[in-house]
Structure 1
Amino acid sequence: GLEVTLLAKLFIYRIFQRYWKLICKNFFTFALLATASLRLPAVYSQTKPGPSINDDVSMENAKDSNKPCRSWRWGRFSFEALADAESRLLSIVRAKIVSTFVNVRLACSQIYTITAKGDEADERRVPLLFVHGFAAGVGIWAASIDCIAERRVVHAIDLLGFGRSSRPEFSDDPTLAELQYVQSIEDWRREMNIEKMVIVAHSFGGFLATSYALEHPDRVRHLVLVDPWGFPEKPVDDRQIRPVGWIRAVATVVSMFNPLSALRAAGPYG
């Protein structure tokens, strides 16, 4: 009896060891199918129509719409709730704010932009651009806008794939995806008719801003990095990387889905 029990446990362990990745992947698939039955809408299209750079959208109208979202329909996100949350964050800014959608070439996308300028701001000075980090948006800079907008024009953007900007499909190749981001920032600069700019960037935005500065050093007057991401080169010898077993297991499971998938699946509770 004991030998049979040990053999059975060993058999189950070997099966689990061999197929656990497939089991985890299927489990996540079933979870997605379950949430799909809750009428998750399609992802924000990169071709969603919006105003052009010449059509300024005053933030005053957005501030008048501070009403709670009353829809109980399950969804990944709500454009109305997103605009409402942004207007609440920016309500502390005293400088006049104008928002625009700037066209860029990647999949005919648009980068959402806010521009702030104080009454005594000198438009001849080099403008400043705020670039947010991962899973953030222009609202993260609300407490920092006024002190800078007193002397110069301040811009803040939602990077493609975040906030109110378009969600284009990026390359699966990390290097190409990075270049696509860099090119989108350069397209934005051209559309905004900015010769040089001071860039203040945080986290993931710091990584992209550094990449942009390396590609276009003549367009950056100063680069200020706030807790930037950094990615060292992968060692030539994989034996130099020996993560603990449970860390490797967790990393494998997490790599199967987008870091924000759980938040999106949570719908109105996310």
Structure 2
Amino acid sequence: MHIEQFICEFSRSDDGADDSLDARRRAYERLHARRRPADPADMRIHDEILAGVGVRRFRPARCHAGDVVYLHGGGWNLGSVDSHHGITANLAERLQREVISVDYRLLPEASYAEALADCRAVVESLAPGAVIGDSAGGRLAIDVAHTSEWKGLLGLIYPVVGAPTRENLGDDAPLLSRADILSLWRMAAPGAPDVPANLPPVPNIEALSAERDPLTRPLERAVDAWRRAGASVGYRCAPDMVHAALHGHAELPAMRIAWQDFCQAIARRLEDEA
């Protein structure tokens, strides 16, 4: 698949003129349900309640010890363990570890602080080897690390870093504009912890970005600051890719290569810590 075809597919709305949040949630879930690949053979998948929060567990047939927690994206008001099922199943298969995807509460029905509390409750109950989050989930992962005693490996996929402004974001790009980010941040900011963007959340971090994404510029600034502060940070940027391209990792060559490198780096770090 070419990136422009991916952009076109992800830009379509299934609900015509209905732009309500409920309609956008339905369209988001339908889009990802249509694109979801078959689960890997012999992978055990089940839903449960953990620390009072809904989660979905992905356990591959060959499984090393040590859990990984995944926090999905979706702008804090969209997304679920269903919409990111394909990504988390593939992550579990690549890492050969159990991955626990968190179905945290969404805004605006909940506050950002409540969504963060859900994620922190799961992480603190499991003490996983790694916490990985994409987009809005990447920001939740950063804030879990800053507000809890957990200090394992942090995996970040085009996260929201710091307090986004029109000046510190990169240029508008397909599927995500600066206006989109600022609108979502205004909704989340009242419940977000006030932590400097240049303060490393944990000592060990792996990060993945997309070249055509307004969030890449602040992430790269943070990566440089975290390294200067002494953190060990691995970083790769998928060329010509856009925000949400992780959902096309199986079809977009540049994203597939970057995702594979990211997963291999996570796996190596977890093996070194075992």
Structure showing greater radius of gyration is 1
Q: Decide: shared fold, TM above 0.5.
A: no
Of Structure 1 and Structure 2, which has the larger fraction of its residues in strand? 2
Which TM bucket (shorter chain)?
Answer: 0.3 to 0.5
1 or 2 for the larger relative contact order (CA 8 Å, sep ≥6)? 1
